[in-house]
């Protein structure tokens, strides 16, 4: 009888140690927290790299004016034109004011309706000479320069030469997009999306670890109960 009691006590000790000291389960979900922090840091870094291009607004008209008539823009920026009735935006060279660039390479808006918006993206920091191609408008001084040279050719010199020019319009509308530009919001939109994904992953990982640990404890206690019941029956 004493031998049976000793064996039973030993069995209790082994099972209790196995159940309570088993190190393979993480009840605090620390692994999920580490993954969440790592993914969150990556999302923040990606969001910090996102940036929006600048938008430079120009009013076309009223009268024979672009307002402003000089724009300094970086590569990738947008120049956005809001039109008055009867005006256009066309590209020329400095040496031939009011005349479209040969070969059809320049930008041209056509004649949009009053209030329409048309925009071009700046692909170079070289000077971009623009004019209104309506009859007599460029000759009357309706011209604009994007990224004027630091010295030499000036907008005033362009307008002066335009007085003796014979203006014309390009044949095809090209080089721009109708509709107002919207600054990119990828930085603000990507961060919440990444955070939501991270939170979801962390939440799904933590409960599964806790459930496994709980099942292990439950099964161990059932075995202990069965052994105790057997010992009681023998005694």
pLDDT digits (tens, 9 = 90+) for 56-101: 999 999 999 999 999 999 999 999 999 999 999 999 999 999 999 9
Tell which wins on pLDDT, 131 or 44: 131
Instruction: Name the CATH code of domain 55-178 (choices 3.40.630.30, 3.40.190.10, 2.60.40.420, 3.40.50.2300).
Output: 2.60.40.420
62 forms beta bridges with none
Residue range 160-190, pLDDT digits in tens? 999 999 999 999 999 999 999 875 544 333 3
Q: Report the phi/psi class of residue 144: left, alpha or beta, with left for phi > 0 and alpha for psi in -120 to 50.
A: beta
First to last CA, the chain: 8
Model confidence band, residue 103 (pLDDT cutoffs 50, 70, 90): confident
Residue range 195-234, pLDDT digits in tens? 333 333 333 333 444 444 444 444 554 544 554 545 445 4
Residue 29 CB contacts under 8 Å (≥ 6 apart), including other chains: 202, 205, 206, 209, 210
Cis omega (within 30 of 0) for bond into 62: yes
């Amino acid at each position: 009888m004493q031998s049976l009691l000793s064996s039973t006590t030993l069995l209790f000790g082994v099972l209790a140690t196995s159940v309570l000291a088993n190190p393979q389960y993480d009840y605090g979900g620390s692994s999920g927290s580490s993954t969440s922090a790592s993914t969150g840091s990556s999302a923040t870094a990606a969001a910090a790299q996102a940036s929006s291009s600048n938008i430079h607004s120009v009013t076309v008209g009223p009268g024979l004016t672009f307002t402003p008539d000089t724009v300094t823009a970086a590569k990738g920026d947008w120049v956005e034109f809001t039109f008055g009735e009867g005006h256009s935006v066309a590209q020329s060279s400095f040496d031939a004011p009011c005349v479209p660039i040969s070969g059809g390479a320049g930008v041209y808006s056509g004649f949009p309706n009053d209030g329409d918006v048309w925009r071009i993206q700046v692909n170079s920091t070289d000077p971009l000479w623009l004019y209104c191609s309506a009859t007599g408008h460029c000759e009357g001084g309706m011209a604009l320069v994007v990224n004027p040279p630091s010295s030499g050719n000036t907008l005033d010199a362009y307008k002066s030469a335009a007085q003796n020019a014979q203006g014309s319009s390009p044949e095809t509308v090209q080089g721009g997009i109708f509709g107002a530009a919207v600054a990119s919001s990828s930085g603000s939109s990507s961060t919440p999306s990444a955070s939501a994904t991270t939170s979801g992953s962390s939440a799904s990982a933590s409960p599964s670890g806790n459930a496994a640990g709980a099942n292990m404890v439950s099964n161990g206690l059932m075995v202990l109960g069965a052994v105790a019941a057997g010992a009681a029956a023998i005694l």
